[in-house]
A and B are shown apart, each in its own frame.
Chain A
Amino acid sequence: MQEEEKFAGGTSALHGHGDFRIMISVKDLVKVFAGARGEVRALRGVSFDVAKGELFTLLGPSGCGKTTTLRCIAGLEQPVAGEIVIDDRAVFSARGGAFVPPEERHIGMVFQSYAIWPHMTVFQNVAYPLAGSASRAEIRERVGSILDRLSLGPLADRLAPNLSGGQQQRVALARALVAQPRVLLLDEPLSNLDAKLREQMRFELKSLQESFGITAVYVTHDQEEALALSDRIAVMHDGALLEVGRPAELYARPAHRITADFLGAANFVPARAAADAGAAAELLVESALGRFVARRSAEWTGGEAALLFFRPENIELMDDRPTGGNGGNCAAAAVERVTFLGAAADVILRCGAIALRARIHPAQAPAAGRQVKFRVAPESCIVFPG
Chain B
Amino acid sequence: MSVTPSAIAKPEIRWRPFARRLSARSLIFALTIAVVSYLVLVPLFMLLYASVKSTEDKLPFETTAMTLGNYAAVLTSPATLPIFLDTLIFTAGSLAIGLPLAILLAWLVERTAMPARSWIGSLILVPMTVPSLLSAIAWIQLLDPRNGWINILLRAVLHFSEDSGPLDVYTLSGMCFVQGLRLVPSAYLMIAASFRAMDPSLEEQSAMAGRNAAQTTLRITLPILRPALLAALIYFVIVVIESFDIPGLLGFTARIRVLSTAIYWATHSEVGLPDYGLASALGAIILGVALLLMWGYHRLTAHQERFATITGKGYRPRQIDLGRWKMAATAFCAAYIFIAVLLPFLMLLWTSVQPFYAPPSADSLARVTFDGYVKIWSDGSVARALRNTMILALAASVATLVLAILVSWFVVRRGRSGAAAAKYLATVSFLPQCVPSIVIGLAFIFVYVRFPLPIYGTLWIIALAMTTRYLAYGSRAATAALVQVHGELEEASQMAGAPWLRTLRRVTVPLLAPAMINVFLWVAVHAMQELSMALMLYNPDTVVVSTMIWSMWQNGRTADAAVLGVVLIALSALLLLGGQWVAYLRRTDG
Chain A residues within CB distance 8 Å of chain B: 1-4, 11, 20-22, 25, 34, 36, 74-76, 78, 85, 88-90, 93, 96-104, 106-109, 111-119, 128-129, 131, 133, 159-161, 165, 168, 172, 175-176, 179, 185, 192
Contacts and interface: CB of A to CB of B under 8 A. Distances in A.
Contacts of B1: 11, 20
Contacts of A88: 11-14
A115 B486 contact: yes
A113 B315 contact: no
B489 interface: yes
Interface string B1-20: 11111001001111111110
B156 interface: no
A243 B416 CA distance: 32
B491 A76 contact: yes
A2 B23 CA distance: 42
Among A20, A88, A113, A133, chain B packs the most CB atoms within 10 A around the CB of A113
Contacts of A75: 494
A25 B495 contact: no
B408 to A, nearest CB: 18
Contact of B497 (A165, A179, A192): A179
B11 A113 contact: no
Given A1-B5, A115-B491, 17 more contacts: A2-B5, A34-B419, A76-B494, A85-B13, A96-B17, A101-B494, A107-B495, A113-B486, A115-B312, A118-B511, A129-B498, A133-B497, A160-B312, A161-B312, A161-B316, A165-B313, A179-B497
6 closest Cβ pairs, A-B complex: A129-B496, A115-B492, A118-B315, A99-B18, A109-B495, A115-B488
A111 B492 contact: yes
B206 interface: no
Given A20-B8, A78-B416, A119-B510, A128 B493 contact: yes
B497 to A, nearest CB: 5
B498 A115 contact: no
Contacts of A133: 497
A167 B495 CA distance: 20
A20 B590 CA distance: 47
Among B486, B497, B499, chain A packs the most CB atoms within 10 A around the CB of B497
B15 A117 contact: no
Contacts of B493: 117, 128
18 contacts: A1-B3, A1-B4, A22-B11, A76-B494, A76-B495, A78-B416, A89-B14, A93-B13, A96-B17, A99-B16, A113-B313, A114-B313, A115-B311, A118-B511, A119-B590, A128-B506, A161-B314, A172-B492
A112 B488 CA distance: 9
A105 B13 CA distance: 15
Contact of B8 (A3, A115, A172): A3
B507 interface: yes
B302 interface: yes
Contact of A100 (B13, B16, B310, B511): B16
Interface string B288-327: 0000000000000011000000111111100000000000
Nearest to B197: A118
Given A3-B3, A90-B16, A118 B312 contact: yes
B16 to A, nearest CB: 5
B20 to A, nearest CB: 9
A306 B92 CA distance: 64
Contact of B590 (A78, A106, A159): A159
A101 B91 CA distance: 47
A214 to B, nearest CB: 14
Nearest to A2: B5
Contacts of A3: 3, 5, 8
B467 to A, nearest CB: 28
Contact of A20 (B3, B312, B491): B3
Contacts of B16: 90, 98-100
B311 to A, nearest CB: 5
Nearest to A98: B16
Contacts of A90: 13-16
A93 B416 contact: no
B493 to A, nearest CB: 7
B495 A108 contact: yes
Given A3-B5, A20-B8, A103-B494, A114 B312 contact: yes
A74 B487 CA distance: 14
Among B18, B302, B492, chain A packs the most CB atoms within 10 A around the CB of B492
A112 B486 CA distance: 12
Nearest to A105: B495
A2 B2 CA distance: 10
B15 A115 contact: no
Contacts of B511: 117-119
A71 to B, nearest CB: 8
Contact of A113 (B416, B488, B496): B488
A3 B497 CA distance: 32
Contacts of B486: 113, 115
B498 A103 contact: yes
Contacts of A103: 494-500
A96 B15 contact: yes
Nearest to A49: B11
A3 B495 CA distance: 30
A113 B311 contact: yes
Nearest to B513: A119
